[in-house]
Amino acid sequence: MSQKEFFGFSQQEAQKIIQDLKRYKYGKVLKVERKTKRENPPLLHSLTTLQREANKLYGFSANKTLNIAQKLYEQRKLISYPRTEAKHLPASSKDLVAEILKSLGREDLIKQISKVGKRVFDDSKLTDHHAIIPLAPPSGNLTADELKIYNLIKRRFLAVFYPPYVYEVITVITEVGQKYFFLTREKVEISLGWKELYSSKERKNPTLPDLKEGDKVKKLKEWAEKKQTQPPPRYTEGTLLKEMEKLGLGTPATRAQIIETLKKRRYITTRGKTLIPTEKGIELIKKLRQSEVSSPEMTARWEKALENIHLKKVGEKGYKLFMEKIKEFTTKELEKLKNLTFEVSSQFKTAKRKRKSYRRRRRTK
């Protein structure tokens, strides 16, 4: 996409507009629109959303978050079962939730249990397990990382019983010279609601004056900015988990291990929070691109079929038909793979020789 297509005018055209705008000292407000909006609290944590938040805030890998959550569940007895994709609780758990809120020192939220409805308590949205919630206050012997994960779970649990975040969006359209129109938009917080638990920044004061249609406004200056379109950002583990969940790849219990396996086999590497494909990984995808083996869509179909078998949504006949298709597909793909050749760069070979040499030296000591 060219700059002209994206911005609507070229740099030369922009400079022409800037010169023309210099003739005008004032503009007129054509329209002022105010809309009050409400944003409900996020749903309770599943394992995937917990992993995504921990990666975004602390840079934790999906596997690290899973291991910590498992320890908080098995050894510390502080949270519910973590390997879940559910974001809701059973309706029968309302008394338990009241007890948990009381133990956390938040008796003031108990009255909200009857008001939150199916955003929190919805049996139809449950899988084998409900959402991850805290079960008791933390003890004093948690590690710093354990406390971080516990607090993410606790904060999300408390947030669902808070009121919505309420704000106003003010949109102003200003006319200059009867042929130039400028859009100004500002967000003004009215009530933080559940964001009280998340917001550590001071609230911003509105910067727009109290404008109304027909107001004369003074033009301060005119300028143009040169920008280019940017490629999509690389995946982090958090954004990759979100995409895997969207495509139906893996389960909450296996997604972290899938990413770890890619790292161990050196198909991907990390640079800060960012995931980078290695030369080895790129070469593999090039070779498998024509095969459905690397198709997320096909993998998602298999995952769905396996889930239906697990939930007994298909009978024995459906199970046998699925297995026959798997065998047929595997046989065809193995035949294709036999004819593939892989080229490994000299850089990769050198690195491999260095590691072997290093291991030999260690054995001789």
Contact 104, 88 (CB under 8 A): no
Would you state the pLDDT for residue 296?
Answer: 80
Q: Kindly write down the DSSP assignment for every residue of 171-199, as one continuous string.
A: EEEEEETTTEEEEEEEEEEEE-GGGGGT-
User: Could you tell me if 177 and 31 lie in one domain?
Assistant: yes
Over residues 342-351, the mean pLDDT reads 57
- Segments in the chain forming alpha helices (H): 3-7, 11-21, 47-58, 62-74, 94-103, 144-159, 237-247, 255-264, 279-288, 296-310, 316-338, 346-364
Residue 79 lies in a domain: no
User: Could you tell me if 36 and 168 lie in one domain?
Assistant: yes
Residue 330 lies in a domain: yes
What pLDDT band is residue 349 in, cutting at 50, 70 and 90? low
Residue 247 lies in a domain: yes
Residue 127 lies in a domain: no
Q: Count the neighbouring beta carbons within 10 Å of the beta carbon of residue 158.
A: 19
Which residue range forms the structural domain that includes residue 352? 237-359
Q: Does residue 227 have a pLDDT over 80?
A: no
Contact 324, 283 (CB under 8 A): no
Would you state the pLDDT for residue 304?
Answer: 82
Q: Which two tokens stand for residue 242?
A: 């979100």
Contact 95, 122 (CB under 8 A): no
Residue showing tokens 């200003």: 174
Would you state the pLDDT for residue 285?
Answer: 85
pLDDT in tens, 269-308: 999 999 999 999 998 888 877 777 778 888 888 888 887 8
CATH number of the domain residue 310 falls in: 1.10.460.10
- Please tell me the total count of domains within the chain: 2
What pLDDT band is residue 343 in, cutting at 50, 70 and 90? low
Burial 265-284 (b: 16+ CB within 10 A, else e): eebbeeeebebebbebbebb
Q: Does residue 61 have a pLDDT over 90?
A: yes
User: Could you tell me if 176 and 313 lie in one domain?
Assistant: no
Residue 126 lies in a domain: no
* Averaged pLDDT score across all residues of the chain: 88
State the DSSP H helix or E strand holding residue 139, giving kind and residue range, or none if neither.
none
Would you state the pLDDT for residue 230?
Answer: 84
Residue 30 lies in a domain: yes
The set of catalytic residues is: 81
pLDDT in tens, 18-56: 899 999 999 999 999 999 999 999 999 999 999 999 999
User: Could you tell me if 198 and 287 lie in one domain?
Assistant: no
Would you state the pLDDT for residue 355?
Answer: 54
User: Could you tell me if 260 and 183 lie in one domain?
Assistant: no
User: Could you tell me if 259 and 180 lie in one domain?
Assistant: no
CATH number of the domain residue 181 falls in: 2.70.20.10
More confident residue, 208 or 74: 74
User: Could you tell me if 197 and 251 lie in one domain?
Assistant: no
More confident residue, 292 or 340: 292
Would you state the pLDDT for residue 5?
Answer: 38
Residue 179 lies in a domain: yes
User: Could you tell me if 201 and 346 lie in one domain?
Assistant: no
Rounded CA separation 356/365 (Å) = 15
How many residues make up the chain in this entry?
Answer: 365
Would you state the pLDDT for residue 195?
Answer: 95
Burial (CB < 10 A; 0-12, 13-18, 19+), residue 89, is buried
User: Could you tell me if 278 and 168 lie in one domain?
Assistant: no
Would you state the pLDDT for residue 48?
Answer: 96
User: Could you tell me if 206 and 281 lie in one domain?
Assistant: no
User: Could you tell me if 191 and 292 lie in one domain?
Assistant: no
Contact 97, 150 (CB under 8 A): no
pTM score: 0.81
User: Could you tell me if 269 and 317 lie in one domain?
Assistant: yes
Would you state the pLDDT for residue 2?
Answer: 33
pLDDT in tens, 185-202: 999 999 999 999 997 666
Residue 104 lies in a domain: no
CA-nearest of 220, 193, 172 to 109 is 193
Cα→Cα distances 271→110, 213, 260, 261, 283, Å? 44, 51, 15, 17, 20
Q: Which of 52-56, 113-117, 338-342, 359-363 has the lowest mean pLDDT?
A: 359-363
